[in-house]
Amino acid sequence: MTVTARETDMHSGTGDTGPFREEHRMLRDQVRRFVEEEIKPYADAWEEDGMVPRDVLRKMGDLGFFGIRYPEEYGGSNMDTLATVVLAEELGKSTYSGVAITALVHTDMASVHVFNGGSDEQRAAFMPGIISGVYITAVGVTEPDAGSDVKGIRTTARREGNDFILNGSKMFITNGVHANLYCIAAKTGDSDKPSRNVTMFLVPKGTAGFSVARTLDKHGWRSSDTAELVFEDCRVPAANVLGEEGHGFYSIMKNFQNERLVIGAMAVGESQAALDLTIDYVRTRKAFGQALWDKQAIRQRLSMLAARVEAARQLVYATAERDAAGHDVIREVSMVKALCGELVNDVMYDCLQFHGGTGYMRGSAIERMARDARVQAIGGGATEVMLEEIAKRL
């Protein structure tokens, strides 16, 4: 699809401010058009079904959304971190965060383990299908007793000849029900340094001993399929190790920076969409003889939220630009994740408040968005964990 860039109004939070080039603006317009034409008219049904149809994901693959950071040799566009931010922010603005996270886990949280850790043979075998949407990926790190503490995982992988035997379980795995390619973290050693005991494995769906134990019923992100995974003497060829044995912890930590930046950008998009919806609502909703917008307290509160969202947006953009330039951005990314995860919840609280009873009803966009936002301060690194990462670098 060929899209030409257009001028837009920065006051509506379009994201056209910042360090973007023509290719980024074209991508933004293309994603925005897809959201309007292919997501918004149908996503209520996906919320009920608990998943995004795979033909929709294939369309996203056909448009190049799944390969924007990957090399052309595999079918990608070889773009930069700013392009990732564009995709995440615009999908966040869809108001259907379950759809957004389905795509973003695939593009920026799971498939990256195949590209970053995979051998030439693994990349050649899987990356074209990942980029086209033939393969949809999930990453299995979190367990019932190990979330942000990756060193605490208990799933094991025991070497047996040319295979590894996996035993254990994974919890809260996004895309876990309907993915067909999984990147799984397991302990392969008992070193005194736990960081040297974790290895990443590529496990296709259908591998004997691997099963989806149950589909999880979530508070929000209803159109995102989430699962508990179980491995019972699951035999995986040693050729399916991603990267070096014992180096999985470092791969996970490295990609956390990308994951957290993406979640922050998505939260900015969600926040802007909620503000836009609410400003439109309070301009027309009347109480005590005048529009709610005419109430000074309401318009000033929304104005402050708009200022905070713009500040968060610029932090996301600046961090993405530094990352694209090759700088260490752990401090900035931790700030993005902590700030945006809390901000999006503050925005949703006030926006639902100003919608009144309408905002509390199932079926209203703001009610759905408020539920979806809650996990933003939890998933990908809880706010408290992020604040500790920042504190180490102050």
Active site residues: 259
Q: Closest by alpha carbon to 189, among 162, 164, 161, 209?
A: 164
How many Cβ atoms are within 10 Å of 72's Cβ, its own excluded?
A: 9
3-state secondary structure of 105: helix
Question: Given phi > 0 = left and psi -120 to 50 = alpha, else beta, which region is 88?
Answer: alpha
**Which tokens sit at 240?**
């399916």
CA distance 342 to 376: 7
Q: What does the alpha-carbon distance between residue 284 and residue 292 come to, in Å, rounded to a whole number?
A: 8
Pairing relationship of beta strands 137-140 and 181-187 according to DSSP bridges: parallel
Report the C-alpha gap between 260 and 137 in whole angstroms: 18
What are the CB-based long-range contacts (under 8 Å, 24+) for 285-291? 285/356
User: What amino acid is encoded at 42 in this protein?
Assistant: Y
Side chain identity at residue 335, one-letter code: M
Q: How far is CA 216 from CA 174, 206, 221, 302, 394, in A?
A: 10, 20, 11, 35, 39
Token pair recorded at residue 252: 């996970």
